[in-house]
Amino acid sequence: MPVMEPIRDLGILEDFKGRLQSWNMRNWMFFVLGINTGLRVSDILPIKVKQVLGTHILLIEKKTSKRKRILINPKLRADIDFYLTCYEWLGEDDYLFASQTTGKPITTVQAYRILRQIGDIMGLEGVGTHTMRKTFGYHFYQRTKDIATLQLLLNHSTQRMTMLYIGLIQDTMDQSMSDFHL
């Protein structure tokens, strides 16, 4: 399996979102929530409707067992509200990203296949479920240059780990080597 990468180019990111939205609103919302919160796919999929109705998403991270509280900013709120109007039959105790056949959350394997399918159509390599979290981290850092807060948001133990995770170290090495020639 290839190394998952962030989607660095905002135009490509918008195209990716648009393709997901025209294909399936559930898949679009799952991706939008991922790239705007930095949550792991294992924490996104079991979210219930009631968890996104307030000002914050409250959950316990599956991997770390840590409590997580994520602000739903106005743009994400608008996306969530739009999604909920498209799926108005969902009740507060229903899963936000339910399988049409089981009513339970789609699996991480299914989520991977969804993202891979769009990535393949667009000719993108390194797209998978970690792409959402890495895309969040990459663009958060590009806008804020605040690696310390990003480290906290992603629950990483070191800033170096965060920089590696979002591809900054590789980008720096690539840039340094691009003009190097003996």
**Catalytic one of 63, 67, 69, 145:** 63
Give me the half-sphere count of Cα atoms (radius 13 Å) on the Cβ side of residue 5: 13
| Polymer length in residues for the chain | 182
Beta bridge partners of 95: 48
**Catalytic one of 26, 48, 68, 156:** 156
130 is catalytic: yes
Q: Look at the alpha carbons of 51, 52, 57, 61 in this order and tell me if their dihedral is positive or negative.
A: positive
Token match 């800033």: residue?
A: 159
Token match 């991977």: residue?
A: 112
d(CA 22, CA 108): 21
**Catalytic one of 26, 133, 134, 139:** 133
**Catalytic one of 26, 40, 48, 139:** 40
139 is catalytic: no
63 is catalytic: yes
d(CA 64, CA 150): 17
- Any idea what DSSP says for residue 4? P
Q: Pick the closest to residue 76 from 104, 106, 44, 121 (CA basis).
A: 44
- CA–CA distance from 20 to each of 35, 59, 136, 161 (Å)? 13, 26, 17, 30
**Catalytic one of 130, 134, 139, 141:** 130
40 is catalytic: yes
Active site residues: 40, 63, 130, 133, 156, 165
